[in-house]
Structure 1
Amino acid sequence: MEIVMWVATGILAAAFLSAGLFKLSQPKERLASSGMGWVEDFHPAAVKLIAAAEVAGAIGLVVPPLVHIAPVLSPIAAACLAVTMAGAALIHLRRREFRGLIPALVLMFLAIFVAVGRFAIVPF
């Protein structure tokens, strides 16, 4: 089960790190034109804050257990990312962007799996 948890954690971290870095590196207009229409509902600073939270969450998933310093931060980061994706799912539902809903829900459930797994099933 330990290997399953690390694979799920790695996939989750890679997804959030790449998405967060992409959002941090692009202006709001380019994000909107690349298919992220939801950014139109947010101030550019809020988009960058969401992106920074995704990057911080990705780092928080992997780094604490690898360096053996406060590994409890990993499931906390997973829980926070699950909440972030629940918010994303609500935004996509409100905007009727059903294509964006599926990845948000998949990432949310994967984050819940990692959080529950690391808190209760295979803790560090």
Structure 2
Amino acid sequence: MEIALWIAAGLLAAVALTGGVSKTFVPQAKLAAAPGGQWTGERSAGFVKTLGVLELLAAAGLILPAALGIAPVLVPVTAACWVLLMIGAMVTHLRHGEAKFVALNLTYLAIAVFVAWGRS
């Protein structure tokens, strides 16, 4: 079970890190032109960058507390916050008719529920 939780948290952290880096450092016009990124063109640059920073923090919060043994309760809290983020992502992608991204977000949501449950 412990190995499965580490793998799940690591996968989510990788997803969060990738999304966070792209939203924080890639120009908004380039994000809006990417598949699944159309919504970024409809939001302010500050909103997109803030979301990116939150994803970077999520990547750290899914791994570091458990790895360092410092406030490990933050892992399930971060995973629960990731669930909320994925709900918002699913709503956004549904509004744009991007069903394949909704399915992907649902998968990430399920993994986050597993991490939140397993680490609490």
TM-score (norm 2): 0.94
State the partner residue of 1:30. 30
State the partner residue of 1:88. 89
Give distance in 2, aligned partners of 1:6 and 1:79. Answer: 16
Tell me by how many angstroms 1:21 deviates: 0.7
The question of 1:19 aligning with 2:34 is answered no
TM-score (norm 1): 0.91
Number of aligned residue pairs: give it.
119
The question of 1:66 aligning with 2:71 is answered no
Amino acid of the structure 2 residue aligned with 1:118: R
State the partner residue of 1:43. 44
Give distance in 2, aligned partners of 1:108 and 1:41. Answer: 24
Unaligned runs of 5+ in 1: 120-124
Tell me by how many angstroms 1:72 deviates: 0.3
Range moving further from structure 2, 91-100 or 66-75: 91-100
Aligned positions of 1:92-111 closer than 5 A: 92-111=93-112
Give distance in 2, aligned partners of 1:92 and 1:77. Answer: 22
Give distance in 2, aligned partners of 1:28 and 1:102. Answer: 24
Cα RMSD of the aligned pairs, angstroms, is 1.0
Q: What CA deviation, in whole Å up to 9, does each residue of 1:56-115 have, x standing for no partner?
A: 011001001111110000110011011001100011112211122122111111111111
Q: What CA deviation, in whole Å up to 9, does each residue of 1:12-31 have, x standing for no partner?
A: 11111111111111111000
Tell me by how many angstroms 1:41 deviates: 2.3
Give distance in 2, aligned partners of 1:99 and 1:39. Answer: 17
Amino acid of the structure 1 residue aligned with 2:110: F
Q: Percent identity?
A: 39
Give distance in 2, aligned partners of 1:16 and 1:81. Answer: 9
